[in-house]
Structure 1
């Protein structure tokens, strides 16, 4: 029997929901490109319910406990006295979300003598030390594509919110005002702007497709160039590097995984090559941007706005400068944890567990590390480096 240790974010402040705004979710059976949605043998949850918090338990408890497995769920993940730290040494499986990551550092992996499988409920496994997982032959898997479109929608929302100055304008309404001049003094149309994505994988390409109808110029850079047919269909301009691309763009959106080549990419030097008044959107990983360089660029006016959904560490401390820098549209890490996405990544987590517990192969596209090698989505997206 296995011990499964699951780290999820806290329940709502007012308690776990007893009702929801909608009764159901639209039915989706495949993603763009044809990959099918998760297909576990069964689920023990209602799609559209809050599954990603501790009381939601990803809908896994009946399934695991009926098989005689031990299931520990906690939100207490940081520090030597945390529940996660105490429960880790004899855990066979660790489940975590990118939004509330349980950082599986090399030191923690060394303590986890029984650990055989690390699952990301969602996408993005950089909170796992992949080098240590490779050395220990620990399988790392994530529910690839489960929330990619959710994140892409969030990118488009943030882009329009920044360019149109939506959030400050809404605040005038909340404060009882009608200050039109204040609202529009930083508001522009996105039509005709040049928009570029750093990485054009599942999320980046979905962003480009969603922005095409806005009559913008579209640019991208990626280690894997898109097919010529896709470039022609969307009118894309390819650039060899982010440094080559960003001087041409009014809006830059980051949709790349965190690895050695992207960590700290957007520093003072690269931001300094961006157009004055450009907007930067980051729903990928916080450490792709230099924290203080972003703050400085907003305060001195070089960037017109920054919107992000990712922080380091997560949760961010109250004094994190991105909470108080001007002209920003920061959110907690929510872009990939809509109720729609939760239904998919909860089902995918169960699918991975069903395969692992029965000794059958995990879907290739879900694999990051397997058999001591980068595999599946991991081989396509990652090079290895320890998480910090």
Structure 2
């Protein structure tokens, strides 16, 4: 019998995924679900043929320089790969894979929940009920904004952005989008979407903005203070993509000053270290990065990871390899 591929997984994965990995590979699992310390992560990279990290593991140039000679694949559990120095990994002969196309519908559901919740002041109503402070219906209490007829701007009309657009269209929202490149007219017609070559011009016209671009050097703080000031004072911002795209301090200042209508955030500029001033705002809904948190989605992510590892171990190119053109 040939030796099984040596795989080390940095976080707890759904039980069926771990069980299948035990069958196929010589796998070491993280039984505690605590993020690996830098020291443990260095050990894992020195021992593994395949490392299975998550977004909580920052695999930078310095860490890759200490990788063991047997490490040949980093099979990321997740679609995003900005926490991995892919260019350095490839230079060292280490392939990187991810799990694209799995979570579009789940993330779009969460984005739509935020799009509906903030204008209708759902967070404020929920807090009122949880504190037992509701004293009954009133004609002027918690009046929000109607969704139908409003302009939704989608920054990044990829898989997730299109899934959001399909949902939003059924709620009567007019769809606007900004991409580096305009989409095919058939896609625009299907979604009823209007393309804006200028992001600045789109921002000035939308009532709700949904951020759906990856974090890259070109998108870091894409939504900076200058661009935020272009938006309507009652506009709502929803971010289920990457926190680094948003200048969180500028967003917080404008929300506190009443220069924006509200925000729904599932991702944050500094991971789980959230600006404490955001927590006190009644027109902000903060979620713990749960856009992809469905049983179905997380199992499918695991299946993709396993397929990538198995294909690699069999001597073939993994189907979800991250290539330089994607960086």
Common fold by TM > 0.5: yes
Gaps of at least 5 residues in structure 2 are none
Gap change, CA 1:186 and 1:260, over 3 Å in 2: farther
Residue aligning to 2:164: 207
Residue 229 of structure 2 is aligned with which of 259, 267, 272?
Answer: 272
Residue 75 of structure 1 is aligned with which of 21, 26, 33?
Answer: 33
Gaps of at least 5 residues in structure 1 are 9-53, 384-388
Whole-angstrom distance in 1 between the partners of 2:60 and 2:107: 26
Whole-angstrom distance in 2 between the partners of 1:367 and 1:317: 30
Residue 8 of structure 2 is aligned with which of 5, 8, 16?
Answer: 5
Gap change, CA 1:180 and 1:242, over 3 Å in 2: farther
Q: Given that residues 154 and 176 in structure 2 are in contact (C-alpha distance below 8 angstroms), is that contact kept between their aligned partners in structure 1?
A: yes
Gap change, CA 1:59 and 1:126, over 3 Å in 2: same
Q: CA deviation at 1:76?
A: 3.6
Residue 220 of structure 1 is aligned with which of 160, 173, 177?
Answer: 177
Whole-angstrom distance in 1 between the partners of 2:161 and 2:94: 29
Helix, strand or coil for the counterpart of 1:367?
Answer: coil
Q: Which has the higher contact order (CA 8 A, sep 6+)?
A: 1
Gap change, CA 1:141 and 1:231, over 3 Å in 2: same
Q: Given that residues 299 and 326 in structure 1 are in contact (C-alpha distance below 8 angstroms), is that contact kept between their aligned partners in structure 2?
A: no
Helix, strand or coil for the counterpart of 1:253?
Answer: strand
Dislocated runs of 4+, deviation >6 Å = none
Q: How does 1:94-173 map to 2 (within 5 A)?
A: 94-98=51-55, 101-113=56-68, 114-173=70-129
Residue 368 of structure 1 is aligned with which of 317, 322, 327?
Answer: 322
Whole-angstrom distance in 1 between the partners of 2:142 and 2:25: 62
1:245 paired with 2:248, answer no
Gap change, CA 1:66 and 1:224, over 3 Å in 2: same
Whole-angstrom distance in 2 between the partners of 1:187 and 1:75: 40
1:183-239 deviation per Cα after TM superposition (whole angstroms, max 9, x unaligned): 843511111110011100000011011111111211001123211012122221101
Q: Given that residues 76 and 84 in structure 1 are in contact (C-alpha distance below 8 angstroms), is that contact kept between their aligned partners in structure 2?
A: no
Q: CA deviation at 1:67?
A: 4.7
Q: CA deviation at 1:138?
A: 1.9
Whole-angstrom distance in 2 between the partners of 1:270 and 1:318: 21
CA RMSD of aligned residues (A): 2.2
Whole-angstrom distance in 1 between the partners of 2:198 and 2:92: 34
1:255-311 deviation per Cα after TM superposition (whole angstroms, max 9, x unaligned): 001111110111111100011110001111000001201110110111111111112
Q: Given that residues 237 and 262 in structure 2 are in contact (C-alpha distance below 8 angstroms), is that contact kept between their aligned partners in structure 1?
A: yes
Q: How many residues matched? A: 321
Helix, strand or coil for the counterpart of 2:231?
Answer: coil
Helix, strand or coil for the counterpart of 1:303?
Answer: coil
Residue 343 of structure 1 is aligned with which of 299, 307, 310?
Answer: 299
1:332 paired with 2:288, answer yes
Residue aligning to 2:314: 358
Gap change, CA 1:270 and 1:318, over 3 Å in 2: closer
Q: How does 1:48-87 map to 2 (within 5 A)?
A: 54=12, 56=14, 59-60=17-18, 62-67=19-24, 69-73=26-30, 75-77=33-35, 79-81=37-39, 83-87=40-44
Structure 1 stretch displaced more, 206-215 or 320-329: 320-329
What's the TM-score, normalizing by structure 1? Answer: 0.77
Q: CA deviation at 1:318?
A: 6.7
Q: CA deviation at 1:106?
A: 1.1
What's the TM-score, normalizing by structure 2? Answer: 0.90
Gap change, CA 1:183 and 1:147, over 3 Å in 2: farther
Whole-angstrom distance in 1 between the partners of 2:110 and 2:274: 23
Residue aligning to 2:45: 88
Q: CA deviation at 1:77?
A: 3.1
